């Protein structure tokens, strides 16, 4: 992980009170990996995934009926 501060962006579903994630798009575009964390655990662990893995997660989330 990095020691530089990350600018987190919340999932559009975060306002629904569900289990949501945040990601750091600026870091992703400059470093080639996507930091992901639980929006309710801002001091918790950060998962670093490839762009293709993140795209797969977003695709899966959009296709799931909630």
Write out pLDDT tens, residues 37-59.
Answer: 998 888 999 999 999 999 998 89
Domain coordinates of the chain in residue numbers? 9-63
Q: What is the pTM assigned to this prediction?
A: 0.77
> Could you say which DSSP state residue 18 is in?
S
How many Å separate Cα 64 from the centre of its chain? 17
Name the residue with tokens 């600018």: 7
Q: What is the pLDDT of residues 14-23, one digit of tens each?
A: 566 666 889 9
Residues 48 and 34: beta-carbon distance below 8 Å: yes
Residues 20 and 41: beta-carbon distance below 8 Å: no
């Amino acid at each position: 992980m990095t020691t530089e501060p990350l600018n987190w962006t919340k999932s559009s579903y975060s306002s629904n009170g569900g289990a949501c994630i945040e990601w750091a798009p600026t870091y992703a575009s400059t470093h080639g990996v996507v930091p992901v964390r639980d929006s309710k655990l801002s001091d918790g662990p950060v998962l670093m995934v490839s762009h293709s893995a993140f795209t797969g997660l977003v695709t899966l989330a959009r296709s799931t009926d909630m």
